[in-house]
Chain A
Amino acid sequence: MLFAFVSTAYAQENRGLALGLRAGTMGPGAELMLPIGKKLTVRGGGTLFSITRSRTEKDDDIEIRFDGDVTWGGFRALLDVHPFGNSFRLTGGAYMDQREVTATGVPVSDFDLDGKIFTSDKLGSMTAAVSFDQSVSPYAGIGFGNATRGSRVGFLLDIGVLYQGSPSFDMTGTGMIAPTANFGPTMEAGLETFKWMPLVSLGLSIRLL
């Protein structure tokens, strides 16, 4: 039904279908933009971002190697409103994606506790994961660029916020440092106010039709 509506609108307005390529705080992605009225454009697309980093930190005489993994990606459906008929737009919609940050800490040096030496293999390891339970996150923002009008190739800028809810902070541990995972709720409480995620993205658009 939506498709029928969009097709009809497209036929009526005879505006071009456009492809956008973006990079921003949600990582690289692509989207299709379709005008559905004089001042309305629907957008649908996706992003995928993953990065792995390792570093060694020394804390309280323990040298710990952290292996971090940031993964987020998914789909989004947005509606652009061009109130002045120019490139300025107001955007609303939703992201259906998953964002997760995981880190594994493994002691790589012995630990001296009050003169007692614990070997790294006996100490065990720790894993922490930050994730968001919401599967659908509303988005609101402003932007510049109208790929369906004007020149065939255009510039895109979006600034907005995503309501993601409070993050979950889960920790697990093995070995002698396993109880360190008890800090999970403390860390989660510390991140409780981090419910909004700012999004900025830049991109290029090309009209296909």
Chain B
Amino acid sequence: MNNRFINTISGAILAGTLLIAGCDFDAAQDAFEQFDVIIALEEINTNVSVRFVDAQTDEFLNEQVSMRFLGNNGADVIDIYSDPISELDVVGGIGGFGIKNALVPSESNPIEVRVVGQAQGFETGSSTVTISNTGLTETTVFMVRQNQTVQGGASANAVGQASGGTVQQAVQLSTASGDATNQAAAAVSVPVGTVATTSAGQAASGALQTSIAFYTAPTTQTSQAFPGGYSGGVQQSSGVVTQAPITTAGFMTVTVTDGSGNEVTSFSPPIELSIDVPGTTLNPSTGQVIKNGEAISIMSYDDDGGIWKDEGSAAVAGPDGNGNFRATFMTNHLSTWSAGYAGTACPVVVNVARNGNIGALNMTAEALDAAGGIMWSGSRSMPSGSSSDTIDDFPASAASISVSVDGTNTVVASPCNNTVNVSLPAPAASVIDVTFALDFGPTCTALRTTTISSYTINYRKEGQSALQSGSVIVTNDNLTHDDLGRITGGSVTIPGLEQGATYIFSSSFDGQVETRNEVITGPSITLDVSDDLDGDLCVE
């Protein structure tokens, strides 16, 4: 009995010792295997979505664009990880960036960034975006293919000859007729004996391939081809940028390459360039159409800085048989050149009667000269819920304004300090608000980050141009998180989509764009974003 008791006690003690085997090692191992690094990202309060649009097709640019940030707040641009960046590569035509949270933009204290885009085979494009509120601001950079013109433009090519840096065969080149309406033209003359130097500082040699792309800006498309936009200001010779709306009566891009394909960028002595401007061009200093002998400003576009530079002025001569005046000037460098003015600005208020159109609206305003030619244009997005906007940088010299809101055009004469009322047609009955559930896909259970800043979704109805697209940004409020703080999904609501129609959705994150088509089948749709956020971000 005693031994039995002892054996029992001993057995119990040994069993207790072996309770260690009762510990759930699998559960411990599972916990350790779940362990993963989670990166805390700061939610960025102020974001900008940039559309890079082919000026000829109004479609998003497929080529890779190198986007640089300049201007007053160019140094305050950050990437999705809140790190300062000065440039970002973009693929798919949609890019985005953020502004340091320390800066809070407002109407009285706006943030201004000049976005410069460079892509292989395109002229440098730029746009100055003025940000006056947190959230999402959109801007568009039009990109013009080199040596090609958009509708309404004209081009010409010629070949000269150089040897050892000296022009042996002159180049005399003029566009045949810049525009069928006014027959305006542009010309370049490089005489024999001119010393030509490449961008690398080498003496130009061989055949001098010379081309001109000329725009008299009478159409929307040619106005879009104006590099840098009309609101970026003009840089004086002192380096100071004067904020003034730029108007143009004509602009041209001149390129010369030598026999080795090197770009020829400087000439000595200076060469002669000519730009024809329509006789309907308004001279802001007189308020009347331009006359023989009056001065017109000459500006050159700085590709590196994405800004127009003051190059003095030229006296116009004419009119010729077509009613045009010719501005002739001398230069020792090549660029895009504009003949026009940097005048004073005046505000124009645009009120929109939405009539049930609840989504974001795309608005384009054009300043027109005496004959209806476009001398200035600007685009902006009117957010959902907003029905009024003020164009602060409208050129005071314009004879009238043409405002297009989602395709509805309204023209008002003498628009300065005036109000433009735009009444939209009622939307189709099938327009609904749609909530999209963001699905990361079966292999991505969560993201290794706590937020996904600057993740924007651009949308447009199939068949519409890139300029008619809208954007929404996904914020932390749209996201769902697990107990660990990792993102597991989310949803975003886009108002005003047409039920039954097919829409193109392009999501932009960290320079990458994924595009997909979705038919609007109802108010709730699952959007597969597994391709947007894959890679190391996903916890599989």
Which chain A residues have a beta carbon within 8 Å of chain B's beta carbons?
59-62, 83-84, 90, 111-116, 118, 140-142, 159-161, 175-180, 182-183, 185-187, 189-198
Contact = CB atoms under 8 A, between A and B. Distances in A.
B535 interface: yes
B371 interface: no
A104 to B, nearest CB: 15
A81 B13 CA distance: 14
A190 B38 contact: no
Nearest to A183: B35
A97 B365 CA distance: 79
Interface string B518-540: 00000000000000000111000
Contacts of A191: 27-28, 31
Interface string B147-177: 0000000000000000000000000000000
B259 to A, nearest CB: 40
Contact of A141 (B17, B29, B536): B17
Nearest to B9: A90
B443 to A, nearest CB: 15
B21 to A, nearest CB: 10
A178 B24 contact: no
A90 B40 CA distance: 54
A177 B486 CA distance: 12
24 contacts: A59-B37, A90-B10, A90-B13, A111-B37, A114-B536, A116-B510, A142-B13, A159-B14, A161-B13, A161-B16, A177-B39, A179-B450, A179-B484, A183-B34, A183-B38, A186-B34, A186-B35, A186-B484, A189-B31, A193-B22, A193-B27, A196-B23, A198-B17, A198-B20
Given A161-B19, A193-B24, A177 B536 contact: no
B22 A182 contact: no
Contacts of A140: 13, 16
Most A Cβ at <10 Å: residue of B39, B485, B486: B39
B82 to A, nearest CB: 10
Contact of B6 (A83, A183, A185): A83
A60 B540 CA distance: 12
A189 B13 contact: no
B28 A194 contact: yes
B355 interface: no
B119 to A, nearest CB: 20
A196 B40 CA distance: 37
Interface of A is mostly: mixed
Interface residues of B, number: 39
A204 to B, nearest CB: 22
A111 B40 CA distance: 13
A202 B443 CA distance: 52
A113 B537 contact: yes
B477 interface: no
B260 interface: no
A179 B24 CA distance: 27
B81 interface: yes
B38 A83 contact: no
Contacts of B2: 83
A182 B39 contact: no
Most A Cβ at <10 Å: residue of B32, B35, B448: B35
Contacts of A179: 38-40, 450, 484-486
A157 to B, nearest CB: 13
A188 B485 CA distance: 17
Given A142-B14, A160-B16, A179-B484, A194 B81 contact: no
B20 A183 contact: no
Given A60-B37, A194-B28, 11 more contacts: A113-B448, A114-B537, A116-B79, A116-B510, A141-B17, A142-B14, A160-B16, A161-B20, A179-B485, A180-B37, A189-B31
Nearest to A188: B31
Given A182-B485, A186-B484, A177 B16 contact: no
A196 B14 CA distance: 13
Contacts of B10: 90, 142
Contact of B40 (A114, A176, A192, A193): A176
Contact of A113 (B9, B17, B536): B536
Contacts of B40: 175-179
Most A Cβ at <10 Å: residue of B2, B14, B38: B38
Contacts of A116: 79, 81, 510
A180 B40 CA distance: 9
Minimum-distance CB pairs A-B, first 7: A190-B31, A179-B38, A193-B24, A182-B484, A161-B16, A196-B19, A114-B536
B483 A185 contact: yes
Nearest to B42: A176
A118 B39 contact: yes
B30 interface: yes
Contacts of B14: 142, 159
Interface string B64-81: 000000000000000101
